[in-house]
């Protein structure tokens, strides 16, 4: 069947000629938005730094990688290739020599073809980008994932991100100049946002020619600031129908060559409070609903890319200076 979304799994199979899986690892990193450097308490939705529940940062990196590879080979076959995915907290936040030791360890394993490093856009000095770029020069593929979440600065303040949009633009341009592949992480349905915000966020990702995107619905985890708003009745996550519509519209705006690393979110009850479609069991249902929605409209990822500029599509707008005031 024709692929209407450029999923990472398809991109990677074409690029490497074999099935490629990500092996997530969780290390004892922290985050400048938690330890007081930029902020305290973290983003209002942050739950254990987005660490997958089956991972324990007290387990050594080698053990996590070896277990992950063993499990993946049993499930997906011996020829499977791997990216080591530094997922939880801020994986570039530390001494560069310590980071080098960790990244070097990850790349020692046979069948590992690259790194995928999740971080914040205000946490990537050039020396770290240079280090990551050195692995690319050795033939590995290196992705860096920047959490943006929203292109609306007011939202970023509301959710306590402790960085702005400008940091994301700066980090993306620098990382691309170092030859890294940039994936931008977005969230749909943040408090106070509407469709226009979601589409603007997608347009920013498209404008930056990001190599990859993650799109997922906001979900509420217990013991977070967002949980408090939810329990007080001051915040309601998107329905599945609304999420599917907005995520589809965002996909239409981004380039067809941008690699889609994620289209939903998964967590486990009882830590997950809402919405009930953000579970491992319903992951495929959400993705299929987005594909079905696009197909039903005869649409696809990139159908509206490049999105029209004012010069391409005259609109009923006048420059303020041409208006007459009483
Ligand atoms: S940047 Fe990530 S790890 Fe840091 S507080 Fe926000 S969600 Fe948590």
**What is the phi/psi pair of residue 273, to 5°?**
-95, -40
Distance in Å, CA 326 to ligand 1 centroid: 50
Edge-to-edge strands, sheet with 181-188: 20-25, 81-86, 112-119, 141-149, 181-188, 212-217, 259-262
Give bridge partners of residue 86 from the DSSP assignment: 25, 117
State the residue range of the domain holding 273: 8-322
Q: Which residues are within 8 A (CB) of 194 and not within 5 positions of it... i.e. 6 or more apart?
A: none
Q: Mean per-residue pLDDT for 30-52?
A: 89
> Which of 22-31, 148-157, 253-262, 306-315 shows the lowest per-residue confidence on average (mean pLDDT)?
306-315
Q: Which residues are within 8 A (CB) of 107 and not within 5 positions of it... i.e. 6 or more apart?
A: 84, 115, 135, 140
- At 238-282, the pLDDT tens digits run 999 999 999 999 999 999 999 999 999 999 999 999 999 999 999
Report pLDDT for 324.
43
pTM of structure: 0.93
Give the CATH number, domain containing residue 165: 3.20.20.70
Q: How many domains does the chain have?
A: 1
In a domain, 36, yes or no: yes
> Which of 8-12, 92-96, 200-204 shows the lowest per-residue confidence on average (mean pLDDT)?
92-96
Name the residue of 31, 40, 120, 225 whose CB sits within 8 Å of the most ligand 1 atoms, as the mutation to test its pocket: 31
In a domain, 1, yes or no: no
CA proximity to 155, closest of 208, 118, 197, 121: 197
Give, using CA atoms, the residue closest to atom 4 of ligand 1: 31
DSSP 86: E
Give, using CA atoms, the residue closest to atom 6 of ligand 1: 43
Q: Mean per-residue pLDDT for 36-57?
A: 86
In a domain, 2, yes or no: no
Nearest ligand 1 atom to the CA of 34 is 5
The answer to whether the CB of 86 falls within 8 A of the CB of 142 is: no
In a domain, 178, yes or no: yes
């Amino acid at each position: 069947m024709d692929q209407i979304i450029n999923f990472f799994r398809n991109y990677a199979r074409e690029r490497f000629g074999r099935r490629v899986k990500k092996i997530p690892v969780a290390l004892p990193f922290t985050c400048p938005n938690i330890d007081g450097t930029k902020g305290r308490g973290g983003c209002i939705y942050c739950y254990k730094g987005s660490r997958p529940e089956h991972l324990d940062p007290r387990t050594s990196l080698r053990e996590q990688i070896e277990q992950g590879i063993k499990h993946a080979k049993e499930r997906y076959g011996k020829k499977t290739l791997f990216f080591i995915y530094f997922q939880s907290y801020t994986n570039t936040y530390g001494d560069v020599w310590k980071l080098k030791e960790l990244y070097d360890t990850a790349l020692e394993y046979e069948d590992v073809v690259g790194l995928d490093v999740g971080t914040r856009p205000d946490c990537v000095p050039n020396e770290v980008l240079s280090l990551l770029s050195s692995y690319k020069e050795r033939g590995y593929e290196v992705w860096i994932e920047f959490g943006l979440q929203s292109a609306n600065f007011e939202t970023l303040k509301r959710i306590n991100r402790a960085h702005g949009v400008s940091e994301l633009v700066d980090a993306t341009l620098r990382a691309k100049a170092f030859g890294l592949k940039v994936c931008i992480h977005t969230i749909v349905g943040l408090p106070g946002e509407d469709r226009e915000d979601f589409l603007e966020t997608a347009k920013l990702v498209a404008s930056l020619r990001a190599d990859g995107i993650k799109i997922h619905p906001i979900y509420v985890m217990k013991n977070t600031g967002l949980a408090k708003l939810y329990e007080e009745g001051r915040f309601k996550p998107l329905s599945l129908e609304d999420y599917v519509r907005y995520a589809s519209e965002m996909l239409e705006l981004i380039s067809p060559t941008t690699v889609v690393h994620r289209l939903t979110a998964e967590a486990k009850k009882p830590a997950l409070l809402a919405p009930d479609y953000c579970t491992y069991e319903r992951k495929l249902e959400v993705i299929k609903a987005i594909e079905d929605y696009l197909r039903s409209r005869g649409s696809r990822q990139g159908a509206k890319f490049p999105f029209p500029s004012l010069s391409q599509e005259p609109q009923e707008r006048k420059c303020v200076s041409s208006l007459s005031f009483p």
